[in-house]
Structure 1
Amino acid sequence: MHIFSIIFPLIFIVLCGYIASRSGFLERTHIAGLSKFTFYISVPSFLFLNMAKADLQTSVSLNGFLSFYIPVILIYLFALIIDRHILSKHPQYERHSVFALGSSYSNTVLVGLPIIIAALGEQMMGIIFMIITFHSALLFTLTFLISANSASHVFSWSTFAKNMLLNPVVLSISTGLLVNLAGITLFADLTNGLALLAKPAIACALFVLGANLAFYKISDNWQAAAIASLLKLVILPALVLLLGTHVFALNESLLKVLVLLSASPLGVNAYLIACQIKQHQDTLASAVVLSTVLSVVSFSMWLTILL
């Protein structure tokens, strides 16, 4: 499939959401309602159904996990060092950890998943969902652990654990996995109902992404956001490609999935963590916008290399 044919429909939906929000056609309350339907009903239905019927034999790959998560951790640590010695220039580890999160956290559900489905189809859903399940937990926990060294009052571990366990993405994937492992066959009417709820998931996710981009802007601290975007969109997927090809010798299909997941732009959840820790909020808000816009170019580059 031509790269333009993969990218354009997705950009079109994001742009529609942005225009609807920016023009005032949809107010914040409308977007909040649509977001709630998307992230608490439609996307979880999609994830649950696909995880429940996924081929688990191809869903767990130690080499695949290592090819993805070793580069993620390396970029996280590298970004932390950059913020410590170049951007902030004095030790403030809760601040450094937020910048590191902004340079390594991928918008896997809203952007990575639609790109992979458009480019490669749905044959690798199992491994995608396994990566997604641990992605937020790993990076958010690492960020809060580093932050806690210098600001133990920042957050409550019990609240964090509760939020992670009740996260609709994690919960729907975990429930689907249990159904799959138990060999439970859902009766047809329930499956059909969930399938109807799941059908608009990808389109709604992209539309909501575009609508929410209208509320963020590129601040004066755009240089730091540009560095984070470069690490996220270019260096991280390059490391995944390097390790997956030359160290772990992954099969071609799995390698493509992992590179595209890692090449996803920064997710909005990273900005919410920045707001909670009260560090680098403007940087991460800018990085969300900048990396999402630049991902049009970077995804085109990675798709050209991979396909």
Structure 2
Amino acid sequence: MMMFEGIFPILAIALAGYLAARSGYLKENEYLAIARFTFNLIIPCLLFINMVHADIPDNFGIDFLLAFYVAVLFVYLIAMLLARHVFKAGASLQAVLAISATYSNTTVVGIPLVLQTLGSEALLPLFMIIATQNLVLFSVGTVFAEREQFDIRALAASLVRLLRQLLSSPLTASLIAGLTFNLLGIGLYQPLDASLSLMSEAAIPTALFVLGTSLHQYQVGRQLPAALLITALKLIVLPILVWLTMYQLFTFDPLWAKTALLASAMPVGISAYVFALRYQTGQSAVAAASVISTLLSLIPLTLILMWIA
């Protein structure tokens, strides 16, 4: 009962967003405006202010990230092989389905859930995953998606374009800015610090509300086999492998290990859909997997929270 009470506010706010969009109370342009406001201003404030005040380890958590991405990339390869042999997918679709099976919704779902269950000290390891997830998975995805038409100059141009897009993203830019302030010991003017902290308090409810409205936009359609495979890899196989790397193969601070385990069990992130749009393949399957995994992620997340409590 206590576990459900802890998760209930997350579900209730997301449901409110879904109902507001589904009922027509909010028009499409209105809830899309809320989404832009959330991702371009509110969440960057949260990322920046928490990174400024974070207690960053001496090695920047490189060992933690390596352990996390060993599991992620192993699942990525499994997903590619299954996409190739089960669905007879080409290189681009293989890469799209593999990213969908490994890309976690660490922002919209992750930040509220981690704050609610593990506290603000768990934000640093989560932010490290957020800061590197696009770079790692989109880079690997680009290489595999374009391997059949391999051209070193075209590939290099794609990677440079990807890096430019990442650096211009408000989420990535806010993390880098906060890290810079932290490492250089630059203090924030106290009233400005208080203003950003106040602004960041809106990040959690608005992100959850946006999650609800986003579920209204995507239809499951006829993509159940691929979507269910993606969901199984994302919500079952990936958390098991992250548990192995965090708890069995290596030893990490318990709070960091818990954060990584929760992050691995998050539903499919919307950026996977963006990657599918980039290559114009697998969009329906990714959208369906996003909806299904969001609904079903409550099961592994609840089990993990019961185990780590």
TM-score under structure 1 normalisation?
0.95
CA displacement, residues 274-297 of structure 1 (integer Å, 9 cap, x when unaligned)? 011011111101000000000112
- RMSD (CA atoms): 1.7
Corresponding residue of 1:77: 77
Q: Secondary structure at the match of 2:121?
A: coil
Q: Which residue identity is paired with 2:28?
A: R
In the alignment, which of 135, 140, 143 is matched to residue 138 of structure 2? 140
Answer whether contact 2:46 2:203 (CA < 8 A) is retained.
yes
Corresponding residue of 2:18: 18
- Matched residue count: 305
CA distance in structure 1 between the aligned counterparts of 2:130 and 2:288, rounded to whole angstroms: 24
CA distance in structure 2 between the aligned counterparts of 1:124 and 1:297, rounded to whole angstroms: 21
Q: Secondary structure at the match of 1:150?
A: helix
CA displacement, residues 108-154 of structure 1 (integer Å, 9 cap, x when unaligned)? 01111211111110112222211210111110111111112235789
Gaps of 5+ in 1: none
Q: Secondary structure at the match of 1:56?
A: coil
Deviation at 1:40, TM superposition (A): 0.7
Q: Alignment identity in percent? A: 34
Corresponding residue of 1:123: 121
Deviation at 1:184, TM superposition (A): 0.8
Answer whether contact 2:20 2:213 (CA < 8 A) is retained.
yes
Q: Secondary structure at the match of 2:217?
A: coil
Answer whether contact 2:139 2:159 (CA < 8 A) is retained.
no
CA displacement, residues 254-285 of structure 1 (integer Å, 9 cap, x when unaligned)? 11111001111001111111011011111101
CA distance in structure 2 between the aligned counterparts of 1:31 and 1:107, rounded to whole angstroms: 19
| Correspondence 1:299 to 2:301 | yes
Corresponding residue of 1:106: 104
Q: Which residue identity is paired with 1:164?
A: L
Answer whether contact 1:244 1:255 (CA < 8 A) is retained.
yes
Q: Which residue identity is paired with 1:212?
A: S
Of the structure 1 ranges 70-79 and 52-61, higher mean CA displacement relative to structure 2 is found in 52-61
Corresponding residue of 1:170: 172
Corresponding residue of 1:279: 281
In the alignment, which of 182, 189, 198 is matched to residue 180 of structure 1? 182
CA distance in structure 2 between the aligned counterparts of 1:71 and 1:252, rounded to whole angstroms: 18
| Correspondence 1:94 to 2:92 | yes
CA displacement, residues 74-103 of structure 1 (integer Å, 9 cap, x when unaligned)? 000000000001122x6x111101010010
Q: Which residue identity is paired with 2:67?
A: S
Q: Which residue identity is paired with 1:100?
A: A
Q: Secondary structure at the match of 1:57?
A: coil
Q: Secondary structure at the match of 1:218?
A: coil
